[in-house]
Structure 1
């Protein structure tokens, strides 16, 4: 360790601005004075909608209506009210029709079943093609169907050229409509623009609800009870999220990290958003709070390994994390003791809870993946210190780990109090499955494309962009295009793994993992990220945490 007399140069990040939120969310005010009454109304509305689901399910002639209802429930952000009903309905639809759907809205049928892990063939698309193998132009006369086909095409897996062609066909025609000045004020025009920017498959469900509720309200065919339920459900859940956020901020304040550790970003609200965005449902409150705290502790690690700590100090800290014992505290540099104690305390608290529930093994898997994360951070620090630009394969072997997706998945699984998480779920994570690898790829590629220029203004590990440029002698512009294409390919792998993993994991766990890819898509849009947010993300935060939905 460096002598106290030595002057150690410690570079400071250029984004260490105070939190833009101040103490705005520190104190939770229970604004729902009539919350008990609201919950009673919600229960009655749920029963109404549930009856409609069941009635449509039991009548073959109503199955198209059933799928339209399920799609609306999902996009309105309240599928957590009807998980069992939706699972039962889609299972029955799959068993009844297989690949041979006979109702209307075939593109919605295809997308919903694939999203829920049911493989249905895309060969039905040949019914919409001419003898030359091109999509029939009459499709362009029905804009809504074009949108539905466009969204369905994003459930493709590698090699499904029919869906690739459908995407190219619909995107071209929808872009023409989007550019038509005569249609710019229509509600469907807004839907087209949003779809072209980001399809439903890539959207965060909570943010989709924000956009879809007002659109749904404008539709003459909207289900009145469902609309009211969506608005009340949004507000009740917003209240819960604000309560969680207040709890987390008070914990963060007691920890005093930003006061005692001047190199650490004050991004507690943003860290909570990462947890909430991935999995927002009310039944996962405990898991979300634990995950948010771990993400905040991981941010301290990132800021410490990312240039502030000397390599010798980081080696000592990494070894201490591997040993995971309070006895290591005295061996650490003074400024690292607070962080290490924080990790010990946070995991010990959760371990006690898990032990009381007979699930002590949960926390051990989470610890192991946190240990792996610090080892990967240390490798990155070594590369940065030496100015080393690794080859692409070597790069991703480390930097996929430092996306934190493996660690966050295990952390979230720990806190879930459902019976859907078993030891097999954690063992699955440890196999480094294709689903998580694909999500890591989306996160790493988008991160490096957007942030690598800023990060190279200081001593920082080489980005994947630089590795490609050096190894293959490519221009930066070309590499950007290459990596964006890889992102699209990884989304196809995610779609495939949704089908493959359904027999291994329950859909809620699969959606949790996919949620981290959707977070990356949301953060790295318009060069927003969790460290520097533009106006768009600030407005999203206000919609999620400040402004309730108008009933």
Structure 2
């Protein structure tokens, strides 16, 4: 089906010089992270192997010998027993009567933000179901904080509650009342709730604009240091866009100083965090051995980001029982990144066409036609794919190889298209760029892995559904693409890469860079609205895969919030990784 018009109803109205932009997914596939803080070393596109560009990616700052030695004693039986005891106490808390409905809402919110949802999933769901079934009178509350918190939690758990609950806080013109400006706690809850809106919910759009403006004003006034910290944290990135494990690290520190802190709940959160950290350490240790043994860290033309890739994968599916997914998908994304860099900066067009042909035929009998580095990458792709196929056959009794190899073919064809744009000097329109770039960002192959590596039973119906790239998968690919372009396009332009969303929009409309960036930022918000609605639909796959889709978007936003945290993962990315892998809580 043609891209134009397929998703036109999802987008903001485009300026008159370009057609309505469809935010399209086509049936084509989706692929790897585009990245990087680097410079172009030559202005001449090469056609032979004698002259090669170099993106000058910074090397990994991780010592793989140290990574292989990471260990923790938090997987010992004594800690597991403590968790079981503390978990029983938490269950009693969740099911106990509270003085007010608000107290139960705040408890559930804290339990989730502490990172304990995976331990108490059934109990939380039962409590939320009870809140929904008994909420008729509760919606009549004139307390903004209570109303907004209830709205957010119910939407988060799959209830399409009406935004009309906020009408009582608006005036005759439909705007939020000015007397709410001093209610910082209520404004903060309204702000967080506004990110759960659907397309066409005007009151939620107004709630977002109103709360954002007045929260920014609030931090300039004399409010308590604790409230200012919370407001700044939310304005930095809303809760709905944050990764659960990253939020847990921050919130545990915050919760410890709250006046109504529950000591056993805090202890459970710290202990659980440390135990999960020990699981991640084992995974990264195994991956470091694989990475060194396979020799891909020697490919100096490409990004060496093994540990960052593991972080991305535990962002997608973080629960400790899914180690197999994280280990195998980290291998996939590491290969995707190297292949992306090979197409972007290293290979000649002749070599890339030959590489693509080998992948499309899934035949390496004539691999010696390629130079050593590119041949090594191709063999690593084949061997790793076969390894994953063997695991799936043994553990799930299903031959996934025909489906997985198709993902690689779609990926490489997309990269080749972008390489041809670069070598020919072609400047794509925004519509033309998105049709390819929604694929080349690398999301679909990772989400595809998230399905078959977490499903208890793989079925053809679900695979066919995933293969068509439904909106719930397409939206994360666009969010990651857009945030990637906002975070990395300046660096990529400097090395001579193809135009990105911002530059394509500028070319299409004549807009300034500031206006173009604002447009792309709005597209992120608009796509989240679509995804929010998608999350309430029924699908032929389980809850783990459904949740992996928004978490994919969150992972991308975590990496690209302050620039290219993937290509140049200093500062925030490094801090996240240190907290996640190296620094346990003191009990």
Query: Shared fold by TM > 0.5?
Result: yes
Call closer, same or farther: CA 1:359–1:54 in 2, change over 3 Å: farther
**Does residue 334 of structure 1 match 2:360?**
no
Which residue of the partner structure matches residue 480 of structure 1? Answer: 517
The residue correspondences of 1:22-421 to structure 2 (distance < 5 A) are 22-23=63-64, 25-32=66-73, 35-56=76-97, 63-97=101-135, 101=139, 105-180=146-221, 182-183=222-223, 186-259=225-298, 261-416=299-454, 418-419=456-457
After TM superposition, give the deviation of residue 34 of structure 1 in Å: 7.4
8 Å CA contact retained: 1:116, 1:498: no
**Does residue 523 of structure 1 match 2:564?**
no
CA distance in 1, matches of 2:136, 2:211: 25
Which of 418, 426, 435 is 2:472 aligned to? Answer: 435
After TM superposition, give the deviation of residue 348 of structure 1 in Å: 1.5
- State the Cα RMSD in Å: 2.3
Aligned-partner SS, 1:327: coil
Structure with larger RCO (C-alpha < 8 A, sep 6+) = 2
Note the alpha carbon deviations across 1:137-174, whole angstroms, 9 max, x for none: 44344322221111001111111111111112211221
Which of 546, 556, 559 is 1:510 aligned to? Answer: 546
Call closer, same or farther: CA 1:29–1:22 in 2, change over 3 Å: closer
Which of 454, 470, 476 is 2:507 aligned to? Answer: 470
CA distance in 1, matches of 2:467, 2:431: 20
Which residue of the partner structure matches residue 579 of structure 2? Answer: 543
After TM superposition, give the deviation of residue 300 of structure 1 in Å: 1.2
CA distance in 2, matches of 1:72, 1:423: 39
The residue correspondences of 1:440-455 to structure 2 (distance < 5 A) are 440-455=477-492
CA distance in 1, matches of 2:366, 2:277: 41
Call closer, same or farther: CA 1:408–1:93 in 2, change over 3 Å: same
8 Å CA contact retained: 2:192, 2:239: yes
CA distance in 1, matches of 2:88, 2:49: 68
Call closer, same or farther: CA 1:328–1:148 in 2, change over 3 Å: farther
8 Å CA contact retained: 2:501, 2:520: no
Q: TM-score, normalised by structure 1?
A: 0.92
8 Å CA contact retained: 1:49, 1:226: yes
Note the alpha carbon deviations across 1:257-309, whole angstroms, 9 max, x for none: 132x3312222111211112222210211101111110001111011101211
After TM superposition, give the deviation of residue 323 of structure 1 in Å: 2.0
CA distance in 2, matches of 1:368, 1:186: 53
CA distance in 2, matches of 1:9, 1:508: 46
8 Å CA contact retained: 1:116, 1:507: no
CA distance in 2, matches of 1:74, 1:343: 38
CA distance in 1, matches of 2:582, 2:544: 27
Aligned-partner SS, 1:222: coil
8 Å CA contact retained: 2:243, 2:554: yes
My pick for the range that moved more, 271-280 or 74-83, is 271-280
After TM superposition, give the deviation of residue 33 of structure 1 in Å: 6.4
Higher helix share: 1
Gaps of 5+ in 2: 1-46
Aligned-partner SS, 1:79: coil
8 Å CA contact retained: 1:279, 1:512: yes
After TM superposition, give the deviation of residue 504 of structure 1 in Å: 4.8
8 Å CA contact retained: 1:389, 1:466: no
Count of paired positions: 538
Aligned-partner SS, 2:487: helix
8 Å CA contact retained: 2:396, 2:456: no
After TM superposition, give the deviation of residue 426 of structure 1 in Å: 2.6
My pick for the range that moved more, 459-468 or 119-128, is 459-468
CA distance in 2, matches of 1:429, 1:98: 38
After TM superposition, give the deviation of residue 240 of structure 1 in Å: 0.9
CA distance in 2, matches of 1:112, 1:361: 39
After TM superposition, give the deviation of residue 120 of structure 1 in Å: 0.5
After TM superposition, give the deviation of residue 95 of structure 1 in Å: 4.1
Call closer, same or farther: CA 1:457–1:142 in 2, change over 3 Å: closer
Aligned-partner SS, 2:61: coil
Call closer, same or farther: CA 1:503–1:312 in 2, change over 3 Å: closer
CA distance in 1, matches of 2:535, 2:346: 40
CA distance in 1, matches of 2:75, 2:511: 61
CA distance in 2, matches of 1:284, 1:301: 26
